[in-house]
Amino acid sequence: MIHKSRMTARMEGDFAVFLIGMRINRPLLIHKWLPVMAAMPRMLKELYTQPELGFLSHEMWFSRTLILVQYWRSLDSLLAYAKARNAAHLPAWQSFNQAIGTDGSVGIWHETYVAKPGTYENIYANMPPFGLGKAGTLVEAKSGLQSASGRISGTPVT
């Protein structure tokens, strides 16, 4: 559903934004990068079917560099999943290190940010729920939420 009005996403409390991706450095070495690429859909399926893990939502872009933006309930939830022995992440990470290591064929990266009320803002116009708007609660950008400064200082959803 496309929201034709200006919308903003509100989150209750702190949350974590996790950017993760891979870069195909040697495109002809499909046997190197395809298993790395195939690991993420398994993890996403696991995360969406187990909301108690703290994963909220994601967006993904494909190119030579694959990029995912993930939203997590907390940094603790993200770190717990990364270390969980019974989850899909650890075997994927071990497989990457064994098959790729530092041979240069496939690059991987991630960045983690913790956001607190009063430290983020967003706006969506003529958009379906997207990004933080899919992870949080969408509200109309009115009553003090029309400007970036108003959205940053706005009251979080309770």
DSSP string, 38-107: HHHHHHHHHHHH-GGG-EEEEEEE-SSEEEEEEEES-HHHHHHHHH-TTSSHHHHHHHHHHHTTTSSSEE
Please count the other Cβ atoms lying within 10 Å of the Cβ belonging to residue 118: 11
Instruction: Kindly report, residue by residue over 41-76, the tens digit of the pLDDT.
Output: 999 999 999 999 999 999 999 998 999 999 999 999
Q: How far apart are CA 15 and CA 107, in angstroms?
A: 27
Per-block mean pLDDT, blocks of 10 residues, the chain (158 long): 94 96 96 94 97 97 94 98 95 94 96 96 96 95 92 70
What pLDDT score does 153 carry? 86
Q: How far apart are CA 122 and CA 143, in angstroms?
A: 15
pTM for the full model? 0.90
Q: How far apart are CA 154 and CA 150, in angstroms?
A: 6
Pick the CATH number of 15-114 from 3.90.1010.10, 3.30.559.10, 3.30.70.100, 3.40.50.11740: 3.30.70.100
Q: State CA 74 to chain mean position distance.
A: 12
Q: How far apart are CA 51 and CA 29, in angstroms?
A: 35
Strand partners, 150: none
